[in-house]
Amino acid sequence: MNVELRHLRALAAIGDEGTITGAAAVLRISQPALSRTLEQLESRVGVRLVERTTRALSLTDAGQRLHERAHQILHQLDDALTEAATGIRPLRIGFAWAALGDRTVPLLRTWREKHPDTPVQVHRGDDPEAALRRGDVDAALLRTEPAPEAGLEVRPLYRERRLVAVPEDDPLAGRPAVRLADLADRPVVLCATAATTAGL
């Protein structure tokens, strides 16, 4: 197909930024040049990768799949070049919100003691699972279990108690514990990237 790295970088940037303008700025090329690169990629792959209208831009299903694989390929190349130049590549861990809470510092300290030759980089993002699929990180700390089709290996680390946040003057605020039945007639807001209703 004669697909080049510049084609993959173009699609990765377009998917990340969501606009040709933003992607062109990240890649430091002109918008017409980026559009031509995208057209070349679509021609060589033989499918439409990006749906473009006057108001919006979105990846097609094929584009989304290739977008994730493009990130993986580019990260593998970067890793290989880094290892060739320095011999060391850090372990990249992705997380959302507070990582492992009060367990985070002991984890990092223990890693440094047991693996002094392999540094750790922590990356905070809104969707660490997506970052893992793209190859942005090597491991991700998640509070929701990925779908089986995600193709990720999952290991449970520990269990967390569920917490509910209510106003200070709420009748439930003074209780040492709250049951799910206490919330049955109330609207509940759930953060989809940091919590789950599984098991409720």
pLDDT tens for each residue of 49-67: 999 877 778 999 999 999 9
For the sheet with 139-141, list strands across it.
120-124, 91-95, 139-141
In the DSSP assignment, the letter for residue 140 is: E
Check: CB of residue 146 under 8 Å from CB of residue 129.
yes
CATH class of segment(s) 87-150: alpha beta
Residue 65, pLDDT score: 92
pLDDT at 163: 80
CATH number for the domain whose boundaries are 5-80:
1.10.10.10
Q: In angstroms, rounded to a whole number, what is the distance separating the alpha carbons of residues 133 and 151?
A: 9
Domains of the chain, residue spans: 5-80, 87-150
- Output the pLDDT for position 87: 75
In 10 A of CB 31, how many CB atoms? 13
E-only strand ranges, the chain: 50-52, 57-59, 91-95, 120-124, 139-141
- All residue ranges of the chain with pLDDT < 70 are 99, 191-200
Q: Is the pTM of this model over 0.95?
A: no
Q: What is the pLDDT of residues 127-156, one digit of tens each?
A: 888 888 888 899 998 877 887 777 788 888
pLDDT score recorded for residue 157: 84
What local confidence, expressed as pLDDT, does residue 42 receive? 95
CA angle in degrees (0–180, nearest 5) for 169-171-174? 85
